[in-house]
């Protein structure tokens, strides 16, 4: 067992554990914190997978901006602990059953059918750095990039409009 594999396993364990923590924690704040941890772990994966720009963006956008927004809204609305639901009594067991099925199907697909034997080296490739991403964005993907800016503008306007007090 190499060091890389050890690192992967530990990080994977942390990621799964934090995700389960988010899933199972009763308070939304805890869920948010678990999610931050998860995002951070994933960012490390990105680094391992030779994507430093995305890793940084993950930290700043997800773990930073988006999660702060979550926390802010939780603060705004109060952390409400919901009573056990009288409706949809079979939702929960069925959901677990389906999740299990999905997981089983994925594992079966990945390890018994596809045989993805390709292995990934944890090396730093200068060609996948921020510079290369920037060049790709502003040349081949210029139109989607600009559309993204319009999307963000619309989201901003929409958010303001939705939360605005009625006069």
Partner 1 sequence: MHFSEAMPAGFFSLAPWIVFFPLLGLLVNLIFGKRLPERAIGWIASLASGAAFVVSILLALSLREHAEGTRVLLAEWIHIGNLRLDWAFRVDTLSVTMMLVVSGVGTLIHIYAIGYMHEDVRFKGDPGRYRRFFVFFNLFIVAMMILVGGDSYLMLFVGWEGVGLCSFLLIGFWYDMDTLGRPSWANSNAAKKAFVTNRIGDFGFLMAAFLMFWSFGSLNFDEVFAQAPLLAQAMPGLVIAMTLFMLLGVSGKSAQIPLYIWLPDAMAGPTPVSALIHAATMVTAGVYLIARSAPLYVTVPAAQYLVALLGATTALFAATIAVGQYDIKKVLAYSTISQLGFMVAAVGMGAFVAGMFHLVTHAFFKALLFLSAGSVILGLERGHHHLAHATHHGKEHDPHAHAEVFDPGDMRNMGGLRKRMPVTFWLYLIGTLALAGIFPFAGFWSKDEILADAFREGYQAVYWLLTIAAFFTAFYMGRQIWLVFFGEARHEAAAHAQESPWIMTAPLMVLAALSVLGGALNLPGLHSLTSWLEHTLEMVHPGEFIFPVAALSTVLALLALGLSWWVYGRRPLVAGQVDPLKQAFGPLFIALENKWYVDEGYWAVFVNRYIALARWLAEKVEWAFWHEWFHDTVLVSGFNFLSQKVLHLRLDRQVVDAFFDGLATLTGRIARRLSPLQNGFVRSYALMVLSGVVLILGYLLLKG
Partner 2 sequence: MIPLAWYIALSAVLFTIGALGVLVRRNPLVIFMSIELMLNSANLAFIAFSHAFGALSGQVFVFFVMAVAAAEVAVGLALIVAIFRTKHTINVDEMNSLKG
Applying CB under 8 A, which residues contact partner 1? Answer: 87-88, 91, 94-95, 98-99, 101-102, 105, 108-109, 113
Structure tokens at 133: 């991403």
SS (H, E, C) 63-96: HHHHHHHHHHHHHHHCCCCCCCCCCCCCHHHHHH
1 binds, among partner 1, partner 2, none (CB under 5 to 8 A by kind): none
Question: Measured from the CB of residue 98, what is the shortest distance to partner 1 in angstroms?
Answer: 5
142 binds, among partner 2, partner 1, none (CB under 5 to 8 A by kind): none
CA distance 18 to 23: 9
Question: Measured from the CB of residue 35, what is the shortest distance to partner 1 in angstroms?
Answer: 19
* Residue 113 vs 167, nearer CB to partner 1: 113
CA distance 45 to 149: 27
């Amino acid at each position: 067992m190499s060091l890389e594999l050890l690192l992967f396993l530990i990080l994977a364990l942390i990621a799964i554990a934090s995700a389960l923590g988010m899933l199972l924690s009763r308070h939304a704040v805890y869920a948010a914190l678990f999610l931050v941890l998860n995002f951070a772990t994933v960012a490390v994966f990105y680094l391992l997978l030779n994507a430093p720009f995305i890793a940084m963006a993950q930290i700043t956008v997800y773990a930073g901006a988006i999660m702060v927004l979550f926390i802010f809204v939780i603060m705004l609305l109060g952390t409400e602990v919901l009573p056990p639901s009288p409706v949809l009594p079979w939702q929960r067991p069925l959901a677990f059953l389906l999740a299990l099925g999905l997981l089983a199907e994925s594992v079966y697909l990945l390890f018994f059918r596809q045989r993805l034997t390709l292995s990934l080296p944890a090396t730093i490739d200068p060609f996948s750095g921020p510079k290369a991403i920037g060049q790709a964005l502003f040349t081949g993907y210029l139109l989607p990039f600009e559309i993204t800016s319009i999307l963000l503008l619309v989201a901003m306007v929409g958010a303001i409009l939705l939360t605005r007090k009625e006069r």
